[in-house]
Amino acid sequence: MRYRVRHITTYTYDDDVTGSYGQFHLRPRDLDWQRCLTHEVTVDPGAADMFRHIDLYGNTKSYFHVVEPHTELVVTATSEIEIEPPRYDVEALGQPWEQARPLVPGTAAERDPDAWQAIDFVFASTMVDIPPGIREYTEVSFPPGRPVGEAVTELMHRVYADFTYKSGSTTVATRVAELLENKTGVCQDFTHFMVSGLRSLGLAGRYVSGYLATRPPPGKPRLVGADASHAWVGCWVPGNGWMYLDPTNNRLIDASHATVAWGRDYADVTPVKGVIFTEAKKSQMKVSVDMAPLD
């Protein structure tokens, strides 16, 4: 599938902003199953300077500085991408889940030469702690010796079934313990919760930020979370690499999912954020995303 993605972030203020420093993760990644064909970002008012670099996890991370006084700031990213569904090694996914723990001596994970890529994603992080109760919840799907692909997929099914998708029920700062208790949230929360569960067992859980097609292929249902940036889970499996699952929609990712950036949690891959200088008392942010097929 080939898509054009337009991501517009608009900030409005009730007084002049005299300086705005921002950073963003908006360029889709180039992967084995995805190619970013074109990419352009505009900032209005125009940025006095802008630069980008590749961060620790291989994401394109950009910075900008606006010095022109303004009461509205608009960041628009437009990309064209080609995507096919990721392919998985069935034999690797059939390994006992205990073999997929990178820090456990003697496992297939420890012997995998690519295990270093997974180490950062085993530990608790800024927004994904491992509170009491999360291991017990996760262990239900991970009895001894169960194939890792089967176990991770069942965990996704359970998160989807047990949680209610409800916009506004959580904030960026909502913790995993609160999610465990209330079981409501949005895609960011579903992802943080599932990543915490994987890490509680010593597995590597990755937070992935991207987009969902707003107009799915003919005959396919429209997915939840297609009106803004979306999030899903990566679980590292030795001999396979990363297995990607979307607990918000109860499915493995496919050609409807465009990958932009990944990290330990949302804080590593925030689409747009920044610092402003102003005496404004009120502000508002509006995000609009359209991922439309070109074929």
Q: Which residues of 48-72 are buried (b: 16+ CB within 10 A; e: fewer)?
A: eeeebeeeebebbbbebebeeebee
d(CA 128, CA 115): 21
Q: What is the mean pLDDT of the segment spanning 72-94?
A: 96
Q: How many domains does the chain have?
A: 2
Distance of CA 116 to the CA centre of its chain: 20
**CATH code: domain of residue 165:** 3.10.620.30
**CATH code: domain of residue 284:** 2.60.40.2250
Residue 217 pLDDT more than 80?
Answer: no
- Does 245 share its domain with 130? yes
Which stretch of DSSP H or E encloses residue 21?
A: strand 2-24
218 band by pLDDT with thresholds 50, 70 and 90 = confident
**Residue 208, beta-bridge partner list:** 232, 262
Q: What percentage of residues in the chain have a pLDDT greater than 70?
A: 96
Residue 45 pLDDT more than 90?
Answer: yes
Question: Both ends of the chain: CA-CA distance in Å?
Answer: 7
d(CA 144, CA 212): 35
Residue 203 pLDDT more than 70?
Answer: yes
Of 95, 48, 43, 91, nearest in space to 67 by CA: 48
Q: What is the mean pLDDT of the segment spanning 223-231?
A: 76
Tokens for 259? 């990958």
* pTM for the model: 0.94
86 band by pLDDT with thresholds 50, 70 and 90 = very high
Q: What is the mean pLDDT of the segment spanning 146-153?
A: 98
Q: What is the largest CA-CA distance in the chain?
A: 61
Neighbours of 270 (CB within 10 A): 17
The pLDDT of residue 119: 95
- Does 155 share its domain with 281? no
The pLDDT of residue 16: 95
The pLDDT of residue 228: 78
- Does 126 share its domain with 208? yes
Residue 153 pLDDT more than 70?
Answer: yes
Residue 222 pLDDT more than 80?
Answer: no
What residues make up the domain containing 43? 2-83+270-293
Mean pLDDT of the residues in the chain: 94
The pLDDT of residue 220: 73
Helix (H, G, I), strand (E, B) or coil at 113: coil
